[in-house]
Amino acid sequence: MRAHYLQHVPFEGLGSIQPWLDAAGYEITRTRLYESEKFPSLEAMDLLVVMGGPMSVNDEADFPWLVAERRFVRDAINAGLPVLGVCLGAQLIASAMGARVYSNPEKEIGWFPIQGVTSGDNSIFSFPTSAQVFHWHGETFDLPQGARHLARSVGCENQAFQLGKSVIGLQFHLETTPESAQQIVSHCRNELVLSSMYIQPEEEILSVKPSSYTAINRLMGSVLSFLLPNDV
């Protein structure tokens, strides 16, 4: 089994997704977009993970590879591959499938709750009624045509969606570990301008208990188990 991920900056890697895939027996490869690496053949993977990054889907002038990446993501979805998008990755999925990506009224940076949108359908992933998760985003997206709404928050309506049976986009970061939280704070602390009730100071972001990471990493495991039911 082969998992491939698209990485946009060196400091946003797989986080807790890595040990989950290792335990499930996946061979893991990646494309470093920031090094202008080429995309592999879709036949060479059984799962595509699209990670986050500080750039916007709409920054094509500064990052021209976004055009090819969006096409690659769309081709993967149309080929029926399981696809997971995290933050920028979710926005890329939405954009690739024709939905709009734009600035959210509020930036969300830190630990804030999401609320699951229940469906009563076993073919749709169900988030908890409420879960405290890690956020770092200033943009949002419209839901792609045919997508199911999975989660919202007070500060951002479209927090997660599912497209078909095997594509999930998450605006928030369930893969975050203490190490990756420190990395993103170190590289993006210029965004910690306390101009919004949904931006926490650095000390608050990094002072959460280990159980907070355990909880979101467990929830990420549930998402992966849903996307890859025969591989766990």
Options 12, 69, 108, 175, the catalytic residue: 175
Considering only CA atoms, which of 46, 43, 55 is closest in space to residue 28?
A: 46
The alpha carbon torsion through 210, 211, 214, 220 (nearest 10 deg) reads: -120
Options 4, 8, 137, 173, the catalytic residue: 173
Q: Check if 4 is active-site.
A: no
**Cα–Cα distance list, 151 to 13, 73, 126, 212 (Å):** 23, 22, 9, 19
Using CB atoms within 10 Å of the CB of residue 10, give its burial: 0 to 12 exposed, 13 to 18 middle, 19+ buried.
Answer: exposed
Options 12, 87, 106, 156, the catalytic residue: 87
Helix and strand counts by DSSP (H, E) for the chain: 6, 9
Pull the structure tokens for residue 40. Answer: 């592999």
Q: Check if 175 is active-site.
A: yes
Q: Check if 188 is active-site.
A: no
- Residues labelled catalytic: 87, 173, 175
